[in-house]
Amino acid sequence: MPKTRVLYNADCPVCNAEICHYRDYSKAQGLTLGFDDLNTDALKDWDIDADTAARRLHVIHNGRLYDGIPAFLVLWQEMPRYRWLARLVGLPGIRHLACLLYDWALAPLIYRNHLRRMRQRAAASDHLC
């Protein structure tokens, strides 16, 4: 099993596009990163529920769970092309600003869109005969 695993929401167009890019890059580079869609049975291995998982990016690295910007930093550090980004965003002032932006704007916006897609899907299934 890979020492670094990523839990993401493949139903989210933003999340899926970004993580598919990372997955394709890691595969092309021969990196041993794992990618788990929270909408599959893989979620049971994470010890978090689907709603919590949908709220932000989660990464397990060497047995430790990270979420939000710290999860991105771990993921980027594992990929040679993105190590510069991990170093930049990891700088004290930038890290604080990135955490604020992610925690208070980006992650909530993506999560609200996720809930809207789920409501629309539920409403569509209610209209089936």
Q: How many angstroms separate the Cα of 23 from the Cα of each of 51, 82, 87, 105?
A: 23, 13, 21, 25
The model scores a pTM over 0.75: yes
Determine the pLDDT at residue 128.
65
Q: What are 67's strand-pairing partners?
A: 58
Task: Return the structure tokens found at 83.
Answer: 């190590």
Q: How many angstroms separate the Cα of 105 from the Cα of each of 24, 47, 64, 126?
A: 27, 26, 25, 32
Percent of the chain with pLDDT over 90: 91
For the segment 52-78, the average pLDDT, to the nearest whole number, is: 97
Is residue 61 within 8 A of residue 49, CB to CB? The reply is: no
Q: What is the mean pLDDT of the chain?
A: 95
